[in-house]
Amino acid sequence: MLSFLKLIRAGNLIFIALTMYLIKYALFEPFGVAITLNLLGFSLLVLAVICVAASGYIINDIFDLKADLKNKPNRTLINNKISEKVAYRLFFILNIIGVGLGFYLSNTIGRPGFSAFFIFGSAILYLYNSQFQQTILVGNILVSIIVGLVPIGVGLYDLLPAITDQNQQTQSVIFSILIDYSIFAFLINFLREIVKDQEDIDGDYNAGYKTLPIVLGKKRTNKILFAIALIPLGFLVFYIYKYLFENIQAVIYTLLLLVAPLLFFLINIWTAEKKKEYSRLSLVLKAVLFFGLISIGLLQFILL
């Protein structure tokens, strides 16, 4: 059971579920926006997203087996704790449940075309691991898009179908907030994907992958990471100046838990070389993503 939880990255799935519930009950509800899904329907949406995400983690471990044997031999689960055959079965079962629930919910809210959201997500995760992982940056971008789509997905299923002429302005403002969070999540995850490529360069090289560090080298990739990291940092500074400046608690939260870690990242990525250093920086970015998305629950105290 423990091996299965590790395989599907249970901690990451809990974070996804927490983010989605925060959007609904700490953003939509306090601001009194019109919604489409009740608790049961929304829970099915969360389950659908989690199932597709879990299937993505499984297929990632299957296709990454050769690289993982080099990068993390003591933590490789496939053909050690769980057979490849069983892993494939779990991948297909979770995919079917996720896409099936997505199709059901899309029809329930009268938007059958929205089922493409889940079909697209499932297909991208499979193609990333089977094809695009060996293509420079394409895989990093695709996975980051999937992460960024989580807040937008909540808006699509719970917010968009409830829009009327009377509430259009309010719904649009809330949806624009979700888009901002999605962009932030995309940028931070994109950075983290490249940092993990730096961390796993030896195993990826043996597996024949064409990641940015393998093609350009660690030093050049570090400089690119530095330049990209300036974007979310600028994003945060702009947000503080335009929206948060009058709320001292929000400014302190943003400075301590988002801006400071990004500055730490910028300072350290310039000279990083060792696997341990990249692992630490990856953890820093994971913390930034966590505190960034968790801040959704604080918006009611800032804006109301």
Q: What is the pLDDT along the chain (304 residues), one digit of tens a residue?
A: 788 888 898 999 999 999 999 999 999 999 889 999 999 999 999 999 999 999 988 888 888 777 777 777 777 888 788 888 999 999 999 999 999 999 999 999 999 999 998 998 888 877 776 776 667 787 788 888 888 999 999 999 999 999 988 889 989 999 999 999 999 999 999 999 999 999 988 888 887 788 899 999 999 999 999 999 999 999 999 988 888 888 888 899 999 999 999 999 999 999 999 999 999 999 999 999 999 999 998 888 877 6
Q: Is residue 44 part of a domain?
A: yes
- Residue 132: its pLDDT value, please? 67
Q: Is residue 87 in some structural domain?
A: yes
Q: Are 304 and 247 in contact (CB under 8 A)?
A: no
- Looking at the domain assignment, is residue 147 inside a domain? yes
The answer to whether residue 299 is domain-embedded is: no
In this prediction, residue 107 carries a pLDDT of 96
State the first-to-last Cα distance of the chain, in angstroms, to the nearest integer: 44
The range of the structural domain enclosing residue 213 comes to 2-226
Is the CB of residue 188 less than 8 Å from the CB of residue 292? yes
Is residue 280, in this structure, part of any structural domain at all? Answer: no
Tell me the whole-structure pTM to 2 decimals.
0.92
pLDDT at 61: 83
Question: Per the domain annotation, does 130 fall within a domain?
Answer: yes
Tally of residues, the chain: 304
| Count of domains for the chain | 1
Q: Is residue 236 part of a domain?
A: no
- Position of tokens 């990083």? 272
